[in-house]
Structure 1
Amino acid sequence: MYPVIYPHLPVSDLDRSTGFYMGLGFTLNERLSNVDLSALNISAAIVLVLLPRPVSQEGRTALAFPTRGEVDEILAACAPSGGRVVSRARLRDRGVYLGTAADPDGHLWDFLCRDGEPWEGNL
């Protein structure tokens, strides 16, 4: 068994932000969601919690995928879902393929994969 991570993000418009993240392919966790918050399943070990609160642009979240194609796919879904790509994916230092996007509230997400190697959680 592994621990589940519940990152919390303040959002200015709960419905808009919920739609954005569902547009990226995350699924609504109906058991945890209610009129005051949206919980979205990113994976079996990560549930993103959106809370209507004053928004700050502190911090940054990174989400690793097994392949470049999956990184490109989620970045391509950002703009149609209401976000924006800040930097297109490209190969960076240490074999990391990485692109950055902002959600509707400006929260930054790095979407990445380790080029040519299985992801093991460390760069």
Structure 2
Amino acid sequence: MTRKLFVNIPVSNLDASVEFFTGLGFTFNPQFTDENATCMLVGEDAYFMLLVKDYFQSFTPKPMGDAKVNDHALYAITADTREEVDELVDKALASGATSIREPMDQGFMYQRSFLDLDGHHWEVFFMDMSQMPAAES
């Protein structure tokens, strides 16, 4: 069975979020877009549903947390090169994102992080499996 991944996150301003993520190079499926939500393509079978807060709250009886105060998840996405990591994160920062920490370089993996307009924590990384240390037996 092939599964698709849909991650639902609340946003304060849907139009601003679409503009922000479009600027980072993401595309959206118009079939799943209206005034309450949009479907952002992240990978072949991976999507982020950006939902206005009231609509998001209609899916759960639990109170919605504030991503600017607490981390509920870290959203990690890959890039094809170290340069692409820098390009994507630099675009995010130029578009209003906030840097959360210094880049991490472990030789085989390079990673940078940012908080989006609503405070959601994104990790962008490149991993060169040929440089990964061998597992110890």
Pairwise TM-score range, normalised by the shorter structure: 0.7 to 0.9
- Check the 8 A contact 1:21/1:81 in 2, yes or no: no
Alignment-derived partner of residue 121 in structure 1? none
Shift of 1:55: 5.3
SS in 1 for 2:32: coil
The 5-angstrom pairing of residues 75-114 of structure 1 reads: 75-92=89-106, 95-114=108-127
Count, aligned residues? 117
SS in 2 for 1:100: strand
Runs of 4+ residues deviating >4 angstroms:
none
Shift of 1:48: 1.0
* TM-score of the superposed pair, with normalisation by structure 1: 0.83
Letter in 2 for 1:114: M
Deviations 1:80-107 (A, max 9, x none): 2221222343313x73211101100110
**Greater CA radius of gyration, 1 or 2?**
2
Once the two structures are overlaid, the 10-residue window that deviates more, 44-53 or 1-10, is 1-10
Alignment-derived partner of residue 56 in structure 1? 66
Once the two structures are overlaid, the 10-residue window that deviates more, 107-116 or 79-88, is 79-88
- Distance in 1, matches of 2:5 and 2:120, equals 18
Once the two structures are overlaid, the 10-residue window that deviates more, 76-85 or 3-12, is 76-85
**Structure 2: any 5+ residue segments left out of the alignment?**
54-63, 132-137
Identity, % of aligned positions? 27
Letter in 1 for 2:18: T
Letter in 1 for 2:42: I
